[in-house]
Amino acid sequence: MFDNWDDLKKSIENCKKCKLCTNRTNIVFGSGNKNADIMFIGEGPGADEDVQGLPFVGKAGKLMNMAFEGLGIKREDVYITNIVKCRPPQNRVPEANEAEACLNYLRNQVILVKPKIIVLLGSTALKNILGSDLSITASRGKWIEKKGIYYMPTWHPAALLRDENKKIEFWNDLKSVKEKII
Ligand code: URA
Ligand code: SF4
């Protein structure tokens, strides 16, 4: 564990702890407010994120931005990162061994940010953070408190692109996050 951002970031930039290192263009460390009250955790970088080295800058990210704007959540006020920091090939779900290899970096980020709320975007984030037995369909929209942090599981924004009906639920989940903080 590192007590500062620079050392943590450097260690990830050189990381070869799993095979996802072989195809990455850039690591996607995370972005936003390093002292945020709210942290968002996605799955892993896609093609756009891999090229830019930033989380949620592609199609799914743009949809998330629209929800943020509508709800008055500023991207620069929250912290956004992923379960794995390197892009899985063809955007496949990270394997258990890859997520496991990368998870200590995320734990370190959580320790440094000290968020009050963590929004888990989709099944991969939910299962790796709160338990592999949990289903996103059953868990979404319900607060889970663990060691003083409030977790809100919700749909991954990419799921909204495939299923319009999920948009309203995503919106409502983020609304409940916004309301908890004010
Ligand atoms: N999907 C994710 O899970 N994370 C990103 O950063 C982009 C798309
Ligand atoms: Fe290291 Fe994580 Fe990238 Fe794997 S995904 S190489 S563990 S930074």
What residues does each domain of the chain span? 5-181
Instruction: List all residues 6 or more positions away from 180 whose beta carbon is below 8 Å from its beta carbon.
Output: 117, 143, 150
Q: What is the mean pLDDT of residues 61-68?
A: 98
Instruction: List all residues 6 or more positions away from 3 whose beta carbon is below 8 Å from its beta carbon.
Output: 112
Evaluate if residue 182 carries a pLDDT over 80: no
Q: Provide DSSP, the chain.
A: --SSHHHHHHHHHT--SSGGGGT-SS----EE-TT-SEEEEES---HHHHHHT-SS-SHHHHHHHHHHHHHT--GGGSEEEES-SSPPGGGPPPPHHHHHHHHHHHHHHHHHH--SEEEEESHHHHHHHH-TT--HHHHTT--EEETTEEEEEE--HHHHHH-TTHHHHHHHHHHHHHHHH-
Pocket test for ligand 2, best of 14, 28, 86 (most atoms within 8 A of CB): 86
pLDDT for the residue numbered 135: 98
- Taking the CA of 125 as reference, the closest ligand is 1
- Domain 5-181 sits in CATH 3.40.470.10: yes
Tell whether the torsion through CA atoms of 87, 120, 75 and 29 is positive or negative.
Answer: negative
Q: What is the mean pLDDT of residues 152-178?
A: 97
Q: What is the mean pLDDT of residues 58-69?
A: 98
Q: What is the mean pLDDT of residues 77-102?
A: 98
Residue 180 corresponds to which amino acid? K
Tens-place pLDDT, residues 99-149: 999 999 999 999 999 999 999 999 999 999 999 999 999 999 999 999 999
Q: What residues flank ligand 1, with Cβ below 6 Å?
A: 28, 42-46, 49, 55-56, 58, 60-61, 82, 158
Contact 18 CB / ligand 2 (< 6 Å) = yes
Q: What is the mean pLDDT of the chain?
A: 98
